[in-house]
Amino acid sequence: MRVAACLHVTTETANLMRTLAAGGADVVLCASNPLSTQDDAAAALVAEYGIRTYAIKGEDTETYYAHIDAAIDHRPQVTMDDGADVVGRIHAERTEALAGVMGGTEETTTGVIRLRAMAAEGELRFPIVSVNDALTKHLFDNRYGTGQSTLDGVIRATNRLIAGRTVVISGYGWCGKGAAMRADGLGAHVVICEVDPLKALEAVMDGHRVMPAAEAAAQADVWITVTGDVNVIDATMFEAMKDGAIICNSGHFNVEINIAYLREKAVSVREVRPLVEEFTLADGRRIYLLADGRLVNLACAEGHPANVMDMSFANQALSAEYIVRNASSLEPGVYPVPEDIDAEIARLKLDTMGVRIDTLTEEQQAYLSSWREGTV
Ligand code: ADE
């Protein structure tokens, strides 16, 4: 099968590509973010494994889409996205490639939201498995992966002590929860900004302070956005921010911080460390933006470690196989990862960690499927 994968080009992704190739796929890879590529991993894929890879760390938007087009030129039968840029482009600009695609997979929350919007408008033309919805993906990758790699990115970029500082996190989905947990573990005072009352309540009972972004702005030493929505840090917040505040994003797209506003208001801008830009405002306050508002965990660190990406990419590989076997009987739409795949990945992961668990006795199994026994 010809597969076009558009993923963060990391060592973990390189091993997914090797896995697909070992399974017989004719695979090409392009980047799913202009700043997340590990150039050594890209080069090794080409030089040592013969896998065509279109990705350069720091590529401009034109090159980014030229690379996506190169992957589409491969005439994929299966797409594998992280953010839905390949699927979006095939449906909008490269419609000649549509007929050849039997189905695809999608890695991340933002991509799944885009695909569901396409499906709701009747635009989506082939079935896609939402890898993100697998429990062995979002409960671990989004929570523990994003949690650790986001703080890792902030720390590697700035070399700041987190203990005793106020870390504001916008968004309390699985990624926000993970980042909050790790900031808390490092000794930060964590403040959560959230629009969903249920998630906000969870944040309160997890022990965090919760408040509107306009109030949090004056307190943030470090501000991490991870909402998936636009202009989460906007004009009012910039006006209230402390001198020295560090702002960054760990959501998929670089839309969460209104960087255009910040650039317009700045009287001077300079790079003080790699991927750390200092914006000085007219009143003398300095705001530090990491990685141009792109994914801080992948741009300033190495993304999630292999021992959580293994589960995400097991879901990718097995979902790709599933779509190949089942696409002909699936209508266009967004489909969950089959539960048996999810459960098998959890079982295998426990195995690799040397963790053994109990199984239900026959008596216990029978009890759970019976309604006859109540209070005794
Ligand atoms: N997303 C987050 N971390 C990643 C990694 N290490 N490789 C690929 N995609 C990722």
**Does the CB atom of residue 252 touch ligand 1 within 6 A?**
no
**Cβ contact 79:46 at 8 Å:** no
In what helix (H) or strand (E) does residue 322 lie, and over which residues does it extend? helix 306-326
Taking only the tens place, the pLDDT of each residue in 84-96 is 999 999 999 999 9
Closest ligand 1 atom, CA of 304?
3
Cα–Cα nearest to 8, from 304, 237, 260: 304
- High-pLDDT (> 90) share of the chain, %: 100
Task: Band the pLDDT of 271: cuts 50, 70, 90.
Answer: very high
**Does the CB atom of residue 304 touch ligand 1 within 6 A?**
yes
Domain spanning 2-133+305-353 has what CATH number?
Answer: 3.40.50.1480
CA 37 / ligand 1 centre spacing (Å): 10
CA 365 / ligand 1 centre spacing (Å): 39
Task: Band the pLDDT of 347: cuts 50, 70, 90.
Answer: very high
β-bridge pairing 266-273 and 276-281: antiparallel
Domain spans in the chain, listed from the N-terminal domain onward: 2-133+305-353, 142-299
Average pLDDT, stretch 196-217?
98
Average pLDDT, stretch 1-14?
98
The residue with tokens 């007929």 is 99
Taking only the tens place, the pLDDT of each residue in 151-203 is 999 999 999 999 999 999 999 999 999 999 999 999 999 999 999 999 999 99
Average pLDDT, stretch 47-60?
98
CA 304 / ligand 1 centre spacing (Å): 5
Between the alpha carbon of residue 141 and those of residues 198, 299, 343, the distances in Å are 22, 17, 16
Q: Whose CA is closest to atom 9 on ligand 1?
A: 8
Structure confidence at residue 260 (pLDDT):
98
Residue 375 neighbours by CB distance under 10 Å: 3
Q: Would you give the DSSP letter of residue 230?
A: S
Taking only the tens place, the pLDDT of each residue in 289-313 is 999 999 999 999 999 999 999 999 9
**Does the CB atom of residue 81 touch ligand 1 within 6 A?**
no
**Does the CB atom of residue 303 touch ligand 1 within 6 A?**
yes
Residue 2 neighbours by CB distance under 10 Å: 14
**Distance from C-alpha of 28 to C-alpha of 78, rounded to nearest angstrom:** 11
CA 212 / ligand 1 centre spacing (Å): 30
CA 9, 12, 13, 17 dihedral sign is positive
Domain 142-299, what fold?
Rossmann fold (3.40.50)
What strand order describes the sheet that includes 209-210?
209-210, 189-193, 166-170, 222-225, 245-249, 286-290, 276-281, 266-273
Taking only the tens place, the pLDDT of each residue in 251-269 is 999 999 999 999 999 999 9
Rounded to a whole number of angstroms, the CA Rg of the chain reads 22
Please state the three-class secondary structure of 255-307 as a single string.
CCECHHHHHHHEEEEEEEECCEEEEEECCCCEEEEEHHHCEHHHHCCCCCCHH
Task: Band the pLDDT of 119: cuts 50, 70, 90.
Answer: very high
Structure confidence at residue 343 (pLDDT):
98
pTM of the entire structure?
A: 0.96
User: Residue 16: what are its φ and ψ, rounded to 5°?
Assistant: -65, -40
**Does the CB atom of residue 208 touch ligand 1 within 6 A?**
no
Same fold, 2-133+305-353 and 142-299: yes
CA 146 / ligand 1 centre spacing (Å): 9
